Structure formats: C-alpha cells, structure tokens
Amino acid sequence: MVTDKQFRRLMTFIHDGDALSVAAAKTGMDDKTARKYRKLGKLPSQLKSTRHWRTRTDVFKAVWGEIEQLLLNEPALEAITIFDYLCRQYEGQFQAGHLHTLQRRIKAWRTQHGPPKEVFFPQQHTPGLMGQSDFTHMSKLQITIAGEFFAHLFYHFTLTYSNWETGSICYSESFESLSGGLQNALWELGAVPFEHRTDSLSAAVNNLSDLEEFTQNYQGLLAYYHLRASHNNPGRGHENGDVEQSHHRFKQAVDQELLLRGSRDFTSLKDYEAFLTKMLKRRNQSRQERLQEERAHLQALPPMRLQDYSRLPVRVSRNATIRVKGNLYSVSSQLIGELVEVRLFSAKLEIYYADQRLEEIRRLRGTGKHAINYRHIIHSLVRKPGAFAHYRYQSDLLPRLLFRVAYDCLRENYPATAERQYLKILELAATVSEQRVEEGLRQMIKQGQRISEERVRQYLQSATPQALPYCVEIAPVQLQHYDLLLESQEVR
C-alpha cells in the first residue's frame, strides 16, 4: 500500500529530474504503480472513497430504541451495565464480543444526543495579581520518620502568572495552618500579590448561615497584608486550577525523587523538610525569568510578620486538664480552677498565665484525643493509688514500653500493691530521671529479677550518673604576645 509520504517523495525526485524508474526505486514502488500515481497526481489518502455501508449485521438494531430510552432516562448508565441488562432480557442473543460494539455505538450516540459536558475555560493571568493556595494530603507518598508513618498535609502556595511555588508541612486545615503557611510563603517571596484565592476552606470561608462571606480571623489576616480575598465554589476545585495542578505535579515530582533516593524514610522531620525545600527550589529555577517580571507588579511586605496563632481563654478543670478544639490536654495541677491563655499554633500549644509562658505542648491532630502528662498529676495519684486502676487515661501514664511491662509484672507478682508500687516508680521517673528508671527496668528484666519499687530505688541510688564532658579551660589571651609578633614582622 502506497502512503502519502511515498507519493510526495516520488514527485520530489521526478521534479528534480530523476527518471520514473529511478524515482520509483528510491521510494520503494514498482514502475507501474509509480506511473499510475504520477498520472493521477493525487495523494493516496485523497483517492480513498468513504464507506457508507455496514460490513456485518447490526446485532443491536432491534433493541436500539430501548437502549436510547435507557440512556435518556439515566445518562450516567455505562455501556457494560446496559449490556448486562440486555443479556438478562434477551438470553442467548448477545455474545461477549458484542460489548465493544455497544460501547462504540453508545459513545457515538452521546457525542450527538448526550448531555453537554462541562467546559473548562483557559485563563489569562496578570503579573502580580493573584496567588492561590490550598492544602493537599501527602499520605499516598508513604513518608516515614524514623520508621514510623508520618501522616501530614502540605500547604501549597503558587503565583498564577509565574507559577512560582512554595509550601510548608502542616497537620490540619486549621486557621493557624493557613495563617502560618500563607505568611511563610509571602515572606519567602519577599512581596505580596493583590489577591489571594482559596477553595472553600472552613478556616477562611463561612458557611451559608453566616452573613459575612469570610471568617473574621481570615479577613484580619488579609487586611494586614492588603490582600483581596476570593474563593472558588464548593466542589469546584478546578476553579483554583493553578494550585490544583501544582499539587499533582509537585507530589509526582516528590514521588519520583523518592524513587531515585531509594527510601521514603527520613531520620527526622527536619531532614524531610530540607528534602522538600530542595525540591521546591529546583522546581522554581525554570520560573525565574517570569518571576522577575512579576516582582515588578507585586506589593511590598508590611514592617513585620503577623502572629500566626490564636489566643483562647480556657478554664483549667479539677482534673488538671483543658479542652482545646475537641482534644484534652493536662496542665500543672497548680492551675486548677484558673483561667489560662492558650496560644494555639498549627503544631503546638503554649500555655500562659499572668503573661508568663508556663509550658509548650504538642498539638494533637483530629478530635476526641487526649494527652496526659504524668508529671502533672503523679503527686496526687501517689496519694490515691486506687484511682489508677480505672483511670480513664491510664494509657498515657505508661510513657514507654518498659513501663507497660513493669506494670504487668507488678500486677502478676504483687497484685495487692501493684498500683501503689507502679505509681512510686513513675514518681521516681518524674523526680529523678525517666531515662535512668527505664535503664533500671531493662537491667532487671535482662537479669531475670522481679521488678519492684524498692529494687528500682536501689538501682537509682547505686547507679553511677553519667559523667559530664571534660571541661576544657582556655587561658586568657595575653595581648603583648601580638605586640611581639608585630615587632618581629617590622624587623623583617
């Protein structure tokens, strides 16, 4: 079969003066075929006639009206569902090989009679006008930190004109994460666009029952940076298209780099953050020219960064706990009944009383969780050992695996005094050293000794504390030595 490419080469060789037989040989035709196409003077594709007849019997002709009615009633029906229905209705009439024919027929029908499809409209972006941001889940990448699965999100910011991007790790779609992520992006950029667009984040956009479109905190944040707020309609992520596409491409790039790295495990969170920062920097290298063009249209930053935490007044309960955003945290028992100020960051809580920062607590993710620090309540539990056996948050008072083993051993060997002894051991961990208590428990298990409060106490009294590093003393420098050096230089 002669192709259009062969015909064009044939006519080129003939036009250049080659004899017909020579031109035919160069293009892989015989003389008769070459003579035919030279005479016709048309491409082979132009000589093909359009077929208007069927080469085989239409097996769906008798039931096509029924198929059309099904498609009109339920446009979302798939061809395979309709085929299964037809096989049940007309047993033995259709074969498995007819499915592909039906799929092709339904596809052709939908292009003419099906419902209109959603149209996506390419946008023309103006330099410096808009920055978009959103949160994306990173779970599918299966990142681990020191061997443990690291569940997290990534706050992603991009400029729509230059596609410059940056972002930061976070743990929820909270206002604190949004505020911290956005400010990190703006201060890294060193400038501010005129508009910030998100999807319908609850941290930024009120629900329909509120009169104000955006939350008060979010309005305050954007007003400080002189940013206009906008958001896409619920369920319309493509309206935030630039950052949505960046999500996909960024995570794809991270996945590819992890494959090259040969491991998805990182020694620490800092190590993982450095990995992502390096990736973002490399992805932004090709955008520098458009970024420089865009910088000329951006606004200046304000004099200083805005606080990226929320202030919450919380009363400490009689259980020495506070409830923040649906989670329970323990605090020092001296604060029972007092009103404290909780400064809520994206990854931590800071506890303030009388303008003094008392404590920092890692923020829990999700809701309905608890974080009880045994050091806050151990002094009371030692006096009330009976409360420990059925304490609602007992699991939090077993800080390490060996403490769990120790409690189980005590219950087995000293059932009458197990709670009292374990709490005494926990008190030693709080007042002396949790690490040294754990070392003592490990040694007793290794030597096959029965664990008891008395043996732990004896171990702490006999164990030699770890020696401090040798202190190096450096004598004061005598300035006259430098004068001697200068004099010797002058003599030379």
> Position 399: which residue type?
P
Q: Each residue of 480-492: pLDDT tens digit?
A: 666 666 665 554 4
pLDDT above 70 coverage of the chain, percent: 86
pLDDT band at 321 (very low <50, low <70, confident <90, very high): very high
At residue 485, the pLDDT reads 63
Sheet with strand 327-330: strands edge to edge: 321-324, 327-330, 370-371
203, 177 in Cβ contact below 8 A? yes
CA distance 78 to 106: 9
CA distance 119 to 129: 24
Query: How many CB atoms are closer than 10 A to CB 327?
Result: 17
CA distance 486 to 167: 54
7 or 487, which is more confident: 7
Q: Each residue of 400-440: pLDDT tens digit?
A: 999 999 999 999 999 999 999 999 999 999 999 999 999 99
Instruction: Report residue 379 CA to chain centroid gap.
Output: 41
CA distance 204 to 174: 9
238 or 128, which is more confident: 128
Residues in the chain: 492
Structure tokens at 58: 């239409």
CA atoms within 13 A on the CB side of 227: 26
Q: Each residue of 96-146: pLDDT tens digit?
A: 889 999 999 999 999 888 888 766 566 678 999 999 998 999 999 999 999
175, 310 in Cβ contact below 8 A? yes
441, 451 in Cβ contact below 8 A? yes
| Mode of pairing for the β-strands spanning 265-266 and 144-145 | parallel
Helix or strand holding residue 195 (H, E):
strand 195-198
At residue 237, the pLDDT reads 46
Q: What is the CA radius of gyration of the chain?
A: 37
Q: What does pLDDT average to over the chain?
A: 87
CA atoms within 13 A on the CB side of 253: 16
Q: Each residue of 278-314: pLDDT tens digit?
A: 999 999 999 999 999 999 999 999 999 988 888 999 9
| pLDDT at 211 exceeding the cut of 80 | no
Would you kindly state where each structural domain of the chain is located, as residue ranges?
Answer: 4-47, 64-113, 130-295, 310-371, 388-462
Sign of the four-CA dihedral 279, 280, 281, 287: positive
The domain defined by 130-295 folds into Nucleotidyltransferase; domain 5 (3.30.420)
CA atoms within 13 A on the CB side of 66: 10
CA distance 483 to 361: 55
At residue 183, the pLDDT reads 95
How much is the average pLDDT of 353-378?
92
| pLDDT at 476 exceeding the cut of 70 | no
Closest CA to 351 of 380, 313, 325, 378: 313
Query: How many CB atoms are closer than 10 A to CB 374?
Result: 20
Give the residue carrying structure tokens 């020092």. 332
At residue 120, the pLDDT reads 59
Q: Each residue of 42-91: pLDDT tens digit?
A: 888 888 766 665 556 788 989 999 999 999 998 889 999 999 999 999 98
End-to-end Cα, the chain, rounded Å: 95
How much is the average pLDDT of 448-464?
88
Q: Each residue of 154-179: pLDDT tens digit?
A: 999 999 999 999 999 998 888 889 99
**Minimum mean pLDDT range among 32-46, 296-310, 365-379:** 32-46
At residue 483, the pLDDT reads 65
Closest CA to 157 of 201, 203, 196: 196
**Minimum mean pLDDT range among 171-175, 190-194, 229-233, 397-401:** 229-233
How much is the average pLDDT of 315-321?
96
330, 372 in Cβ contact below 8 A? yes
CA distance 326 to 465: 42
At residue 218, the pLDDT reads 87
Instruction: Report residue 339 CA to chain centroid gap.
Output: 36
Query: How many CB atoms are closer than 10 A to CB 375?
Result: 16
